[in-house]
Structure 1
Amino acid sequence: MFKRECFSEVELGDDTISQLVSLTQQVIIIVERELQLAGFWESIPARKRLETELQVTLLSPEFSAVPDRFAKRSTLITKIMEIAEKNNDRILYAE
Structure 2
Amino acid sequence: MKNIIEIIKTRRCVREYRDDTISDEDIKFLINCAKYAPSGFNLQPWSFIVIKNKRIMQEISERGKKSFIPMLEPIKNTSQKIEDFLDYLKTEGTDTFYNASKLNLM
Compute the TM-score of the two structures, normalised by the length of structure 2.
0.31
**Structure of greater Rg:** 2
Greater strand percent: which structure?
2
